[in-house]
Amino acid sequence: MFLLSALVLTLIFLAIGTHVSVALGLVAVGLALLSDGVPTTVIAQTAFKSVNSYPLMAIPMFVLAGNLMMKGQIANIMIELVGSVVRAIKGGLALTVLITSVFFAAISGSSVASAAAIGASTVEGLKRESYPIGFSAALVAVGGTLGLMIPPSLLFILIGSIVGMPVDKLFIAGIVPGLMEAVLLMIATVYLAKRNNYGTNVRRPDWRGFGKRLPAATAALSMPALVLGSIYTGFLTPTEVSAFAAAYAALLGLFVYRSITAGKMWSVAKESLLQTTMIFTVVMGGSLVGFMLARMGVSQQLVSYITDMGMSAWQFLLVVNVVLLILGMFLDGVTLVVLTAPLLFPIAGALGIDPIHFAVIMVANVEIATLTPPIGLNLFVMSGVAKIPVHEVARGVLPFFGVRIIGLMLITYIPSISLVLLR
Amino acid sequence: MFLASTVIMLNEAFGRALLNTSYFWAEETVRYLMVWAFFLTVGAAGSAGYHIRTELLVERLGKRWRQLCHFLSSAIGLSFSAILFYASFPQIYRYYTMGMMTESNLDIPLWVLFLAMPIGAVLYFIYYFSCLWRTLKGEDPFAGGTPIKIDF
Amino acid sequence: TELVLTSEVATTHWKTRYMNEFAEQVAKRSKGEVKVKIFTAGQLYNDQDALAALGTGAVHMVWPVSVRIETIEPRTGVINLPFAVSDSMMNNSCFMSGLSGLMSSYVEPRNLRILGFLRTADLMFVLRDREVKRMEDLKGMKIRVTGGRVFLETMRSLQISPVSMAASEMSTALAQGAIDGVFTSPAGWAEMIGITGKYGWYVPGFSLTTYSIVVDKGWFDSLPATHRTAIVDAIADISPRQWQEVKAEDDTLIQKMIDQGAVFHVADDQERARWRSLAQKNTSLFSERYDEVIKQFNELGARCGVHN
Ligand code: NA
Ligand code: NA
């Protein structure tokens, strides 16, 4: 009973605009005070250990690496490089944007940062080639979400450290689903461009231009290869790779592309630290709630309730997808994961679902959540970049939404898409 | 601290990958540096508008109701940081009486490292106190926290 | 009364089985008055955090690997020294209870109590592509280890480079050649690594690791005598039996690996003596600092008529 009041209280706190971290924290405190045999000091213990985790340490450094790469001209260089050949087909510029999104997804751990970086340098260009602005903004917003699935991914790090799973395996698991989603999006884009006559400015492939631009882009292009390669071969742990990626991005920015000065470095580092703190506070609040639910035996009861119901794995996955899609409309990605992972993973395990596969399903849901109104961060970002209202971006996203659902279903019901590289 | 931990991690990565040496203290150092960096910036992140919140409902309310929400939100933040502060002392005292040290050969008592929490809680408290103060003066204490700063 | 017992290993690990049995026995022996609540798989705490929480009222009992207690009281490291204990010593009830008392006396000033020990495993080397029959064969290898300082020193004096790495990563790292071997338990060999680690090298007693049964002393002492007896008796019943069952299981697992084509060598007495004398040199740092601990430990062995 008082669990229900706790839930209602949480929702009220969130609705009145309380910071997610303290809202969750205070609800956990309330549960601790009302339970027997739980001293208040568990709040301090749990809050401390929730951020004192080695896998979590990859987050600040991947954030820093991503932020450094987003500065300056790297997005333009990539778009020109890809565009010089891809624009030979109708809708080519839109495809170029998607391919560049895949590249940014492979260097950045988040979805918003890459959407912002790509959006700034493409929305104008798309407009000139008769793409409606709503479509362009939606395209960048949708492409940005690939950053969550294609490694490195802050979400996988978060899931790995909350549930206690190897982050390197999660990263590897995200590669094929991420590429599959990208291909689905590209097919949809070409179809939409054909049907609506977008991107009429078709050029002949400019291989010479491609060759000329390639050397400048090589340094940036090699970064995803190095990051993925060293994780895939087990050469470095994800946390070590994150430090390496940050250093590499700093070198690129300072010496190769000269997109950043040493003084600017400092402010980017500061910004990255504050973003990390923001993520960690939510992790802290979520862990407190998760701890109390485990301590009160709620997680255990939920597991036996579901298994006693005789629910099969596929039914459970369907329910999870529906619930996450609905929750995802209102919650941001970090909160969604931090709140649901501790409850859902034990059930998935009890039903014999591979936890790595389940983590990929979760990430696919969060990708969609960043695109669904009313709270969809990529919608907000693109509304800011393209200077159009949020609902116009959302309308543009609508056709892609179907594609995402198809992708989600494929990922959910074909486990080998996620697990093939791990066998 | 953040940059220092990046450098140590980098050193560890190169050491392990290229020179076959592994520093058992590196992992622990990086962790505790980041934990301290986190607690020391938890208030600053608030002032800079980085903490996640939902404005959806609040921004549709009238001024008076909105100020009430801000007041409650500040009060919730204040209570949580106060409890965090209060709850950290039994654990610090227990670490102290137990004499537990770090696991690697860093040899730092854990009660010292745990001090990050009460310090962070004070900074958190100060931040929410300023929010409360600004609410009472009729300002919006949470203005400027744009979703663009959210990195997911 | 509620007894909160936490553990970081998976619910499927055999340790959970013994925890469940402990819960049942305590309930029965206390006529249902002490209720043991078990939280496995790190749901509440990993073992290190749980140790730190003993005494705050959040947790009452933990069964961590004994090495972890060294972070609280370095003198307890005596049980983790190479060749400190053997299966036959721990099967001697005089020695087993004496050792619990001795180790407990070191942590009691810290408001903790040690009620007994369980067998974790007698660790061994598992190599990918090099057959090992004597200590020289290990020279220059990169080996994943966990363990205390004396142990690391011993590894280094064998010119092994010890690598610290999460258990979840070691199998991949070994398969890809990032490391040459791991120092692990028979269960680790059979269940996590498999035949990728084709060569086994076992020096009996070199690193026989244990779980310590640690309880919050203040809480325990405040229990009525009947409750304390229920807990102590349950452990006295489970611990010696567990020791033999787990030893037998480990032997089965090694045999299973041999059946799959693994090459397994055990150090003979002469080779074992060489390992002992090498380990001896590295223990000197411990014995210089805690001479009285070594003395007490040896006296206990003499009193019970066992030695390694
Ligand atoms: Na990514
Ligand atoms: Na949403």
pLDDT digits (tens, 9 = 90+) for C43-71: 888 888 999 999 898 999 999 989 889 88
Which burial class, exposed, middle or buried, applies to B83 when counting CB atoms under 10 A from its CB (0-12, 13-18, 19+)? buried
**Cα gap A242→A120, rounded to integer Å:** 26
Res B10: pLDDT: 55
Per-residue pLDDT tens digits for C67-120: 889 888 888 888 888 888 888 888 888 999 999 999 999 999 999 999 999 999
Per-residue pLDDT tens digits for C152-184: 777 888 888 888 777 767 887 888 788 899 999
Annotate C91-125 with three-state secondary structure.
Answer: CCHHHHHHHHHHHHHHHHHHCEEEEEEEEEEECEE
**From ligand 1's centre to the CA of A6, what distance in Å?**
35
In chain A, residues with a C-beta closer than 8 Å to the C-beta of B90 are: 39-41, 44
CB spacing of C162 vs B105 below 8 angstroms: no
CB spacing of B27 vs C56 below 8 angstroms: no
Interface of C with A in 152-211 (CB under 8 A): 165-166, 168-169, 172-173, 176, 178
Domain ranges for chain B, please list them: 2-136
**Cα gap C150→C78, rounded to integer Å:** 10
Cis peptide before A238 (omega within 30 of 0): no
Report which of residues C184 and A108 the model is more confident about.
Answer: C184
Res B9: pLDDT: 54
Res A72: pLDDT: 64
- CA contacts within 13 A on the Cβ side of A276: 30
CB spacing of C168 vs A165 below 8 angstroms: yes
Range A323-350 average pLDDT? 85
Closest chain B residue to C173 measured between Cα atoms? B17
The answer to whether residue A359 scores a pLDDT higher than 90 is yes
Name subunits touching C (3+ CB pairs < 8 A).
A, B
In chain B, residues with a C-beta closer than 8 Å to the C-beta of A18 are: 53, 72-73, 76-77
H or E element, residue C183: strand C181-184
CB spacing of A234 vs C169 below 8 angstroms: yes
Helices vs strands, H then E, count in chain C: 11, 11
pLDDT band at A291 (very low <50, low <70, confident <90, very high): confident
pLDDT band at C288 (very low <50, low <70, confident <90, very high): confident
Specify the 3-state DSSP secondary structure of A201: coil
Res B7: pLDDT: 59
In chain A, residues with a C-beta closer than 8 Å to the C-beta of B94 are: 41
Interface probe for A, chosen from C13, C61, C168 (most Cβ of A below 10 Å), is C168
Per-residue pLDDT tens digits for C129-147: 888 888 888 888 888 887 6
The answer to whether residue C122 scores a pLDDT higher than 50 is yes
Instruction: Using a CB–CB cutoff of 8 Å, tell me whether A60 touches chain B.
Output: yes
Range C9-29 average pLDDT? 89
Tell me what the pLDDT averaged over chain A comes to: 84
The answer to whether residue A313 scores a pLDDT higher than 70 is yes
Res B151: pLDDT: 41
**Nearest-5° angle of CA C27, CA C210, CA C55?**
55
ipTM of the complex: 0.84
Res B149: pLDDT: 42
Residue A77's nearest CA partner among A100, A102, A101 is A100
A103 with A224: CB under 8 angstroms?
yes
Q: Which two tokens stand for residue A77?
A: 């260089």
Q: How many CB atoms lie within 10 A of CB A197?
A: 10
Predicted model pTM: 0.86
Report which of residues A376 and A349 the model is more confident about.
Answer: A349
The answer to whether residue B152 scores a pLDDT higher than 70 is no
DSSP B31-54: HHHHHHHHHHHHHHHHHTT-S---
Res C283: pLDDT: 79
Q: Which two tokens stand for residue C92?
A: 């001697």
Among A328-337, B67-76, C22-31, the range of highest mean pLDDT: C22-31
**Nearest-5° angle of CA C81, CA C85, CA C86?**
135
H or E element, residue C199: strand C199-202
Partners of residue B109 on adjacent β-strands: B101
Domain ranges for chain A, please list them: 2-33+54-422
Name subunits touching B (3+ CB pairs < 8 A).
A, C
**Cα gap B39→A21, rounded to integer Å:** 13
Interface probe for B, chosen from C46, C54, C56, C112 (most Cβ of B below 10 Å), is C56
pLDDT band at C33 (very low <50, low <70, confident <90, very high): very high
H or E element, residue C202: strand C199-202
The answer to whether residue A2 scores a pLDDT higher than 80 is no
Q: Which two tokens stand for residue A246?
A: 């940050």
Range C37-44 average pLDDT? 86
**Cα gap C194→C187, rounded to integer Å:** 10
Measure in Å the smallest separation between the Cα of C173 and chain B Cα atoms.
Answer: 12
Res B147: pLDDT: 45
What percent of chain A is predicted at pLDDT more than 90? 17
Range A95-116 average pLDDT? 82
Per-residue pLDDT tens digits for C219-268: 999 999 999 999 999 999 999 999 999 999 999 999 999 999 888 999 88
**From ligand 2's centre to the CA of C208, what distance in Å?**
53
Nearest to B76 among A23, A269, A278 (CB): A23
Res B1: pLDDT: 58
**Cα gap A248→A244, rounded to integer Å:** 6
Nearest to A45 among C43, C53, C166 (CB): C53
Nearest to B97 among C111, C142, C164 (CB): C111
CB spacing of A48 vs B76 below 8 angstroms: no
C203 with C272: CB under 8 angstroms?
yes
Range A208-221 average pLDDT? 80
